[in-house]
């Protein structure tokens, strides 16, 4: 079973795949091995996730194997997505040797290879070794629908998609304006786009697609593939962040806005300043996971959870003092699943990463959609226009910023306005649907059982995990 991670430490891809592995182990008695290509020594964060939270030294049902570091010398000024794609290609040879060794040791018990959408080159190895091959989609059904359509769009459309003059229409989904499409498709001359077309065209080679979503959240996006789905789960607490939870314990029920841009997201200095002042103007309670700004890219923490500079130094003068009675600012990381589950949390200002979306929905927390990179703008369209569980602030066209006044208004609207009340009722409906689909007789539980049944004649399945690193 192979898994290719997402950006940076890859937590957005690693965690749902490990949750998937845990369910195969706990409910269907499989064995799982994560095979991890790297571009440097594994980070402490990665080791902690794999060793502390997901593996038991007294139980070898979930193991990790690290491949030799990938060499990226000579590769300059390329998008992160390109590095992700090439990490797989440059790891195929050692991957083959590891899988051959596992095959020799376990004979017919090595039955499956699961990759995420960046890793379809690994299908060739699966075919060589007579393994079933699956794609695990760590994004939404809308993203899967677009991915399946991309090879046809590439042949049919001339020029850049942003020049089409009309939205892209996907099967059973709301139309998506070209500016909200995935980052890698915004420049068709870039290598990242060419690699994405190549890999999405290979989706058809998989024996199956495992989708990390559920129907109630994406009722309009499931028509073509409702038989293959899985609901995600929350990730681990990577370090002691009890300060956040203790602070939340002292706040009124439903009164706190959680602000976080995931493991990779960064704001520009000006935007960080506007967000701080907007939170101050709103008068609402907030818990903000802050990182040092980056004026060049919006995914500046892709390859690190570390702050090279003190992010507090970039906040407006007096901000921490002025807001200390109703706000808490922490650096780099917070126990997101626990924060969203806390009774005091009443809203989530998010980058619209899919794991963050699912975790918020699972706990019935309405959203403010603030997409930054990758597929997040498409997720924002889904959350605001289709699922209707999020608000989205207006961007100032002149400077590309979300102004402090707009931020204050939308935060107040979510936390205490009628629109926020409507979203809260809607997300509660979706939360109840989640509980049904992951229940004993739910559709997600059944889908996983059906997949396990196909492999049941053999006793081991291996996850191959493609990661780079990492600080």
Active site residues: 13, 116
Q: For residue 208, which of 232, 225, 223 has the smallest C-alpha distance? A: 225
Q: 160 and 190 in contact (C-beta within 8 Å)?
A: no
- DSSP letters, 366-384, are -EEE---STTHHHHHHIII
Distance between CA atoms of residues 80 and 190, nearest Å? 12
Distance CA 300, CA 294 (A): 6
Q: Are 419 and 391 in contact (CB under 8 A)?
A: yes
* Partners of residue 35 on adjacent β-strands: 65, 464
Q: Alpha helices of 48-91 — where are they, by DSSP H?
A: 80-89
Q: In the block, which residue shows the tokens 């439903």?
A: 254
Residues written for the chain: 471
E strands in 55-129: 62-69, 110-116
DSSP β-ladder status, 460-462 and 110-116: parallel
Helices marked H in 393-442 — which ranges?
A: 404-416, 418-437
> Rounded CA gap, 282 and 420, in Å?
14
CA distance 406 to 404: 5
10 Å CB burial of residue 262 (0-12, 13-18, 19+) is buried
C-alpha span between 377 and 360 (Å, rounded): 17
- Count of CB atoms situated within 10 Å of the CB of 407: 25
Q: How far apart are alpha carbons 187 and 52 in whole angstroms? A: 41
Tokens 């994004």 label which residue? 139
For residue 384, give the nearest of 340, 426, 428 by alpha carbon: 426
Given the structure tokens 């207006």, which residue do they identify?
Answer: 394
The separation between CA 203 and the C-alpha centre of its own chain, rounded to angstroms, equals 19
């Amino acid at each position: 079973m192979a898994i290719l991670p997402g950006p940076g430490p890859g937590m957005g891809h690693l965690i749902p795949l490990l949750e998937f592995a845990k369910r195969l182990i706990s409910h269907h008695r499989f064995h799982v091995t994560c095979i991890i290509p790297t571009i440097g020594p594994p980070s402490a964060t990665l080791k902690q996730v794999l060793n502390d939270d997901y593996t038991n030294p007294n139980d070898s049902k979930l193991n990790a194997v690290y491949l030799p570091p990938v060499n990226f010398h000579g590769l300059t000024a390329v998008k992160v997505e390109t590095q992700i794609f090439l990490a797989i290609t440059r790891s195929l040879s050692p991957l083959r040797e590891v899988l051959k060794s596992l095959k020799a040791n376990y004979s017919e018990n090595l039955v499956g290879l699961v990759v995420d959408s960046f890793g379809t080159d690994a299908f060739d190895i699966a075919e060589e070794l007579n393994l079933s091959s699956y794609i695990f989609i760590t994004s939404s059904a809308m993203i899967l629908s677009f991915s399946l359509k991309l090879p046809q769009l590439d042949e049919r459309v001339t020029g850049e998609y942003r020049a089409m003059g009309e939205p892209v229409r996907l099967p059973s989904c709301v139309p998506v304006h070209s500016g909200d499409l995935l980052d890698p498709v915004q420049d068709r001359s870039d290598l990242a786009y060419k690699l994405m077309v190549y890999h999405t065209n290979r989706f058809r080679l998989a024996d199956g697609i495992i989708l990390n979503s559920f129907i109630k959240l994406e009722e309009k996006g499931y028509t073509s593939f409702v038989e293959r789905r899985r609901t995600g789960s929350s990730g681990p607490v990577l370090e002691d962040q009890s300060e956040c939870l203790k602070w939340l314990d002292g706040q009124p029920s439903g009164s706190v806005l959680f602000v976080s841009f995931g493991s990779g997201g960064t704001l520009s200095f000006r935007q960080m300043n506007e967000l701080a002042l907007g939170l101050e103007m709103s008068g609402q309670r907030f818990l903000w996971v802050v990182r040092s700004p980056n004026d060049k890219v919006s995914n500046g923490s892709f390859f690190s959870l570390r702050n090279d500079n003190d992010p507090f130094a970039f906040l407006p003068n007096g901000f921490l003092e002025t807001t200390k009675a109703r706000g808490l600012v922490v650096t780099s990381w917070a126990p997101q699943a626990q924060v969203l589950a806390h009774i005091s949390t009443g809203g989530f200002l998010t980058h619209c990463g899919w794991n963050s979306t699912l975790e918020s929905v699972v706990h019935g927390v309405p959203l403010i959609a603030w997409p930054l990179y990758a597929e997040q703008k498409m997720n924002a369209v889904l959350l605001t226009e289709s699922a209707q569980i999020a608000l989205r602030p207006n961007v100032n066209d002149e400077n590309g910023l979300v102004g402090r006044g707009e931020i204050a208004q939308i935060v107040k609207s979510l936390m205490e306005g009628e629109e926020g009340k409507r979203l809260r009722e809607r997300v509660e409906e979706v939360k109840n649907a989640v509980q049904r689909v992951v229940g004993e007789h739910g559709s997600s539980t059944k889908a996983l059982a059906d997949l396990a049944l196909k492999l049941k004649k053999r006793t081991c399945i291996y996850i191959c995990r493609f990661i780079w690193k990492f600080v």
